[in-house]
């Protein structure tokens, strides 16, 4: 693994067990899935100035616009085979609305999940199984 991927994983793991809190971004206090991504990639100098403007917690159940994907596309590109530090996107409701960071065991991610906070999960685990959409990388090639 190269150093930037190591750094992404290390920074992400530093958020482990932070409680879930909609639209928050404070390590150890509260974070949601999009704010988690922004915090990690911003600390790694890969998404400076990224913002997720106001959004309802259930927006993905009532809209079809790919807002989450549009945000990811500003900083990342799709990849077929994930590497540690890449982003896994998931579809809940009508559109992509969840993401996590791929770990060295590329069948697992770290993500902030409603009701659980920042946790480790298998890509095909109970809460994510069948919802995987795609992988994206922010790491410059």
Q: b/e for 100-127, b at 16 or more Cβ within 10 A?
A: bbbbeeeebbbbbbeeebbbebebeeeb
Please report the domains of the chain, with CATH numbers, ordered by start residue.
3-137 (3.90.1720.10)
Considering the entire predicted model, what is its pTM? Answer: 0.90
**What is the structure's pLDDT at 57?**
59
Does position 112 have pLDDT exceeding 60, yes or no?
yes
Average model confidence (pLDDT) across the chain: 89
- Summarised one tens digit per residue, pLDDT across range 85-107 is 999 999 987 889 999 999 999 99
The Cβ of residue 93 has, within 10 Å, a number of other Cβ atoms equal to: 14
Structure confidence at residue 23 as a pLDDT band (50, 70, 90): confident
- Summarised one tens digit per residue, pLDDT across range 61-71 is 556 678 788 88
Please compute the mean of the pLDDT values over residues 7-17 and round it to a whole number. Answer: 98
**What is the structure's pLDDT at 47?**
83
- Summarised one tens digit per residue, pLDDT across range 122-131 is 998 888 999 9
Sign of the CA dihedral 45, 51, 56, 58? negative
- Summarised one tens digit per residue, pLDDT across range 35-59 is 999 999 999 999 877 776 666 555 5
């Amino acid at each position: 693994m190269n150093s930037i991927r190591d750094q992404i994983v290390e920074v992400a793991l530093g958020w482990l067990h932070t409680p879930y809190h909609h639209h928050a971004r404070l390590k150890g206090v509260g974070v949601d899935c999009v704010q988690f991504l922004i915090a990690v990639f911003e600390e790694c100098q890969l998404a400076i100035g990224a913002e997720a403007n106001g959004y309802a917690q259930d927006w993905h159940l009532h809209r079809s616009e790919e807002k989450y994907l549009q945000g990811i596309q500003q900083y990342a590109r799709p990849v077929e085979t994930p590497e540690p530090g890449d982003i896994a996107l998931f579809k809940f409701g009508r559109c992509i609305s969840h993401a996590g960071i791929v770990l060295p065991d590329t069948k697992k991610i770290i993500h902030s999940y409603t009701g659980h906070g920042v946790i480790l999960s298998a890509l095909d685990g109970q809460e994510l199984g069948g919802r995987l959409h795609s992988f994206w990388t922010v790491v410059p090639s």
